[in-house]
Structure formats: structure tokens, C-alpha cells
């Protein structure tokens, strides 16, 4: 079942999402008929992960255009749905620019909507191609850093096909190592509080027959201390111009652990995740999420059969009224990053100059 797809039933065009809040217990599609429905799906994490958010944002603009809604209003709402993820705004602006360009050229509403849809489909296709190239570059880097194979890789959150038009970012590298017979173990952080590692990465690893083990986030230190981690592979939601990396909260502690234990810490992300307009990590807006995600053991997803928890339910684990600090992301400084792997190649060491050169030579479409 694809993560995201455009469909045109008789009643009008729709955007169909694999509802990730219901995994791993159930594979269910969520149908969005307008941009507000897509905004809600994005905020609820029914669709999540930087690359696929860009794709969703572009399709959302196309959907608004095809349905005859105000495209600029829809674009602003979509771009603001998750402020840390730069790919979302990029996808929105790309489709919006295609729509505006068509209108400026004299196109009618239907043709302008078609231009926005073509831009979304192009981004979807490019992301799949980028995923494949990142896997190649990432595996080559692992083999260079860790000669001899038998890689034991720790990953955080979810970075597979569920976040991409292809096979993902960091997960795609681990999958390439598995297919090449060079992955000894994939260590999967559960990724509190919403368990994207346990629910989604373990789900994808199992489907691909990969050797994997799930661990609680706070067990990572003991895993490093035992010498069981050869490399850390993570994705990114935004990379600042200086190489600071915003990713799922819990990534920064892994970078600190990796540096102390002399383990490579590798970020895998498409060039579109690099934001030259954000100068450094301090300039990245970090999304803050609701306290109940921490103060309750929630089941916004459909549980695995026999789990005995109702979907949408929550069991309080803290006194009522407890406020929780719940940032969705944290920021890792560039000096803790061994390398950034993109579809255009590897940046190592990570410097502002190297990232600027990478962006300049990439095939990234400029949005004016």
C-alpha cells in the first residue's frame, strides 16, 4: 500500500494517505478531499517525515487548485502545519509557483491546476530517485568507515518508505546494507513519546526481513558502552546553513554518545532538507507538542491484535494537570555530525562552505 497517492474518482480528485497513526495494527487509507483535511492529517501525524511531507504539501496545493479553492490560502495553511520540516514548505512553494506561473501565462483554472499537479508528481518522482541515490552513497560511506561489513547500526524515529516517495533516507541505507549482506543488526530506538521507532521502523524492518532489535531510548547509552554500535544513521527535518541538524527529539543525545564512544554519526537527507535561509541551529523553530503525549500512554493507533488497548485511548501515567516539556525535535550541532549523505553525494566534514557548494551543484528547483 503506497504511503501517498493521487486519485481521481468520479466525485472529484482526492489525496489518499496510508494512515500511519493506525500502524502497525492496521493498514488503512485516509482520504483527503481538501487542504484543511490534509493539514489535519499532517498535524495528527497520519502522514509524517520530511520528504513525504514535501510531497504531501505539493499535492495539497494541487488538490486546492483542482477543487477550486483559494490556492494561496491553502498553501499558507499547509506550509504552517509543521514549522520545523523545511521540506513541507518547499513542496508547497514549488507547486504554488507552478500554479502561479501557469496563471500568469494565461492558463485557465483547470490548466493551472494541472500545472500544480505536474509539479507535485515531479517532486514525488524525484524523491524516489533521490532515495535510491542516497542509499548508494550511504552504503559506500559505511563500507569506507567500517571496512569488513557486519555493520551494527542504530537508528532513531522512522526514515523508511513511510517518509519517502522511495525507500527512505537513513533506513534506505540500512536496507541497502542488508541486501548486500553487510548488516549484522539494526538497533531501533522506540522513539518516545509517539513510538515511531517501535510502531513504524520495526514494522518496516520486519517487512523487509532485516535483523533488528528494539530498545528503549534510554537504553542507548548502555548499548554504546557495551560496544554494540558501529554507526548511527538518522534522517533530518531541517539542516541549517551551518550544518546544524534538526531531527526527532532524542537525536542530539545519540550524537553526544556517538562522539564520546568514537562511533560515526551520519545524517541522511535529500538536498531539499538543507535550508540556506536558516543560518544556524539557534534559528530553527522547534515544534512543541501537547503534554498528553507524555503524560498518558496513548494509543492513537490501532493496537496489534490482542494488545487490549482501545484505539484513541490513553492511560494517565502522571498526576492530572501535569505539564510536560514535549519538543518534537532537537538540534544537533555540526561538529557532532560525521557526515551528511544526500542524493548528490556526501558532505564530510560538515561545514557551511561544503553545504553551500552542495546546494549550488544540486538539481534543486529554485522557488521564487
Active site (catalytic) residues: 237
| 96 assigned ligand-binding residue | no
| 43 assigned ligand-binding residue | no
**Pick from 293, 236, 203: which is nearest to 18 by CA?**
203
Residue with the three cell numbers 523508511: 160
| 247 assigned ligand-binding residue | yes
Cβ atoms 337, 245 nearer than 8 A? yes
Cβ atoms 248, 328 nearer than 8 A? yes
For helices 50-66 and 35-43, the axis angle rounded to 10 degrees is: 160
Strand partners, 333: none
| 326 assigned ligand-binding residue | no
d(CA 69, CA 307): 43
| 82 assigned ligand-binding residue | yes
With the C-alpha atoms ordered 221, 222, 223, 229, is the resulting torsion angle positive or negative?
positive
Sheet containing 231-234: give its strands across: 212-215, 183-189, 151-155, 231-234, 265-268, 339-342, 345-347
Burial class (CB in 10 A: 0-12, 13-18, 19+), 235: buried
| 221 assigned ligand-binding residue | no
Residues with Cβ < 8 Å from 7, sequence gap 6 or more? 13, 14, 15, 16
Query: Which residues line the annotated binding site for substrate?
Result: 48-50, 82, 196, 247-248
Amino acid at each position: 500500500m503506497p504511503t501517498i497517492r493521487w486519485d481521481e474518482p468520479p466525485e472529484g480528485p482526492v489525496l489518499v494517505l496510508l494512515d500511519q497513526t493506525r500502524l502497525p495494527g492496521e493498514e488503512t487509507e485516509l482520504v483527503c478531499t481538501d487542504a484543511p483535511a490534509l493539514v489535519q492529517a499532517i498535524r495528527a501525524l497520519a502522514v509524517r517525515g520530511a520528504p513525504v511531507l514535501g510531497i504531501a504539501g505539493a499535492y495539497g496545493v494541487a488538490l486546492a487548485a483542482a477543487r477550486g479553492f483559494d490556492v494561496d490560502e491553502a498553501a499558507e495553511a499547509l506550509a504552517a502545519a509543521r514549522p520545523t520540516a523545511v521540506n513541507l514548505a518547499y513542496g508547497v512553494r514549488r507547486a504554488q509557483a507552478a500554479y502561479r506561473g501557469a496563471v500568469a501565462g494565461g492558463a485557465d483554472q483547470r490548466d493551472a491546476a494541472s500545472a500544480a499537479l505536474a509539479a507535485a508528481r515531479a517532486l514525488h518522482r524525484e524523491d524516489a530517485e533521490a532515495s535510491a541515490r542516497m542509499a548508494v552513497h550511504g552504503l559506500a560511506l559505511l563500507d569506507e568507515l567500517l571496512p569488513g561489513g557486519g555493520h551494527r547500526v542504530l537508528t532513531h524515529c522512522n526514515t523508511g518508505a513511510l517518509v519517502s516517495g522511495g525507500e527512505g533516507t537513513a533506513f534506505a541505507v540500512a536496507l541497502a546494507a542488508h541486501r548486500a549482506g553487510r548488516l549484522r543488526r539494526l538497533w531501533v530506538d522506540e522513539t518516545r513519546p509517539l513510538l515511531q521507532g517501535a510502531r513504524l521502523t520495526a514494522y518496516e524492518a520486519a517487512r523487509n526481513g532485516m535483523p533488528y532489535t528494539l530498545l528503549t531510548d534510554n537504553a542507548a547509552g548502555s548499548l554504546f558502552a557495551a560496544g554494540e554500535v558501529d554507526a548511527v544513521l538518522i534522517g533530518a527535518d531541517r539542516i541549517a546553513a551551518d550544518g546544524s541538524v534538526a531531527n526527532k527529539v532524542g537525536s542530539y543525545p545519540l550524537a553526544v554518545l556517538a562522539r564520546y564512544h568514537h562511533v560515526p554519526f551520519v545524517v541522511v537527507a535529500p538536498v531539499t532538507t538543507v535550508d540556506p535561509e536558516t543560518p544556524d541551529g539557534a534559528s530553527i523553530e522547534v515544534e512543541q507538542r501537547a503534554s498528553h503525549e507524555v503524560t498518558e500512554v496513548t494509543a492513537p493507533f490501532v493496537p496489534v491484535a490482542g494488545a487490549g488497548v482501545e484505539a484513541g485511548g490513553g492511560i494517565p501515567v502522571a498526576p492530572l494537570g501535569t505539564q510536560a516539556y514535549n519538543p518534537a525535535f532537537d538540534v544537533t550541532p555540526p561538529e557532532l555530525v560525521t557526515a551528511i549523505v544526500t542524493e548528490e553525494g556526501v558532505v564530510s566534514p560538515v561545514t557551511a562552505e561544503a553545504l553551500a557548494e552542495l546546494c549550488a551543484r544540486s538539481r534543486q528547483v529554485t522557488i521564487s
